[in-house]
Every structure is written in structure tokens, then in C-alpha cells.
Amino acid sequence: MEQNETKEQPVSQSTAGQGVAVITPSQEEVVATPPVKQSSCPTCAGGAGAMTISYVYALGRIEARFPRLSVEKEFAQAIGRAETAGQTGQQAFYNALSKPENRYLVRQMCWVFTIQGMETYLIQPRDPADYDRLVEAIRPQPSPMDMDVIIGMRGPIAPPEMCNGLMVPIVAFDQIYSFDRDALIKAIPCPEKTKPEAFRPAAEEVFYRILQMTDNAGATDDHRALNYLAMRYPGIYAKAAEEFARDFSLTGLEVRPSPLSSTRRIVDVIFSYTNRNTEFTEKFSVRVDVTEEFPFLVTKLSPYYDR
């Protein structure tokens, strides 16, 4: 299948809780560069002033926890009033949260975002309607392959009374994607000249390499760019399959500030492939704008030469 040279093909954007990846419409690859915005910070020391906004684009898991004993006891009473025969504990928990009459409990819960098993953020919706998306992310039948993506703004460290002593940054999110990893890999378009049985392992290796990047909490420009590409740009997977077929291995993954950066924050994500016989290394890069909350592609994947 031929790819349009001037279009970005998003990989996956799934509705929370459905467990399947949905391919989203393509978007223009090159976007005009509006001026950078700053927000005032009236609560900062010294009163007003300009505050640099910190954004998060993170891959991990969402968990619902009881912030206080009283909330846990109230929740137990809500489950006791429901018909739960034949349900697992997780199913009963999910069904209780899903009931409209228990929405007050959904607002009382603390929602923890973990990355590689580490408690990383407490998350809150910027729009109260998105509490439903948090509930769907819990899943009545969870799997170790489940994954969630949050996109939002990072705030201060949570006070200890907010979530039973857990003190991690608060993230106010605007978007959540929930899916399982198998569904994501299957949703990535397979290049026309590549066999599906060869493409899937290549896509999995690239995806897992991004997940295993050290300290990838999705809060730095580097990690936001990588996580965005993992979710929205199939070109990196197609190139991996092509290089593996040529007996090259993925040996490096690096992010550098782009020389084009001026008023906007733009990074080059560089993939290195080394021939297994000759040890000759080829590099390819893709350019991503991470200035604002939603990263976007600036240039497609192309050969990269060290300067």
C-alpha cells in the first residue's frame, strides 16, 4: 500500500474501555507555527508571573484506589446493595463504579497512573464528563497486556491527604486512550511489500523499545515525542520491518533538539540500524514538534547523517 509522502498516518486512537484500536483519520504533516503561549501563575511565590507549562504524554496503566477508609466503607455498602452473584471481584468493582447512582464515589476515588509498575501520577479530568472514561479504563476483565495513554498538563505534587499518603505529581488530562497491546500492533498498517508474519515482530520490537526507555514518564520533550510516535506514526514500524528484512538490527534510539528549533521546541528522533554481518550502521530520523500539549509530525522518516 503506497503511503502519501505528505501525510502522517496516525497509528491508534482507541476509545477507553473497548479494548480495540481504531485508526484515526490522517492529518497534515507540516503545520504552521503559531507563537508560543505562556500562562500567568497568580499562586506562584511573588504573585503573578510567567510560568512554563509542563505537558505529559505518557503510556502506562490507570488504577482506582480508595483515598480514605470512609470512602472504602461507603463503596462496600454500594456493592452490598447490588446483585453480584457470579461476578469476580474486579467485575463487581467495575459494575459498581459504572452505575449512575454511584457517580459520587467515582469523584471520591483517587486515580493513579502507573508506568512499569511505578506509581507516577495522580490523574484528574479537566472536564468532569471524562470521569466516565476513567471508569472504562478500569475494565471488568483486565489483562497484563492492557495499556492506557494520558495526555494532559502536569501540576504540583499531590498533598499526602489526597490519596492515602501517595505524593506524586498531579496530571489534569484532556485525553485518554485505552487499549491492549495486541490490538495496537494489529491496528498498525502493514506495508504492501511486507508479510504480516514478518511485520508484527518488527512492530513489537520498536514499540517495546520505546516503552523500556529509561525513566520514560512522558513528561520530557524526548519521551513525549517517542510516545507520540509509538501511538500515531506507523512509518517507524514500516522502516523497522524493512531493515530487519535486510539483516539489520535496531541498535540505537536517540532524541536530539532539532537545528530548526527557534520559537518552537522541535526534536529529531533518530533510529539506528546496524548490519548483523558488516556492522555498518544506517540512521533514520523523524522530526516532531513538542511545543504544546499535543505533539505533531513536522517531517516524515528519512535518512539521517551525523553533522
Mean pLDDT of 238-250: 93
What pTM value is reported for the model? Answer: 0.79
Closest CA relative to residue 150, chosen from 168, 165, 133, 162: 133
pLDDT at position 34 over 60: no
Classified as helix, coil or strand, 142 is coil
Mean pLDDT of 166-170: 95
pLDDT at position 256 over 80: yes
Mean pLDDT of 112-117: 94
Classified as helix, coil or strand, 31 is coil
Q: What is the β-pairing status of strands 248-257 and 169-180? A: unpaired
193 vs 281, residue with greater confidence: 281
Strand segments, DSSP code E, in the chain are 7-8, 27-28, 39-40, 50-51, 54-65, 110-115, 118-125, 146-157, 169-180, 248-257, 266-275, 281-289, 296-303
pLDDT at position 243 over 80: yes
Res 59: pLDDT: 95
Separation between Cα atoms, residue 5 and residue 183, nearest integer Å: 26
User: How distant, in Å, are the alpha carbons of 259, 263, 297, 303 from that of 272?
Assistant: 19, 28, 19, 10
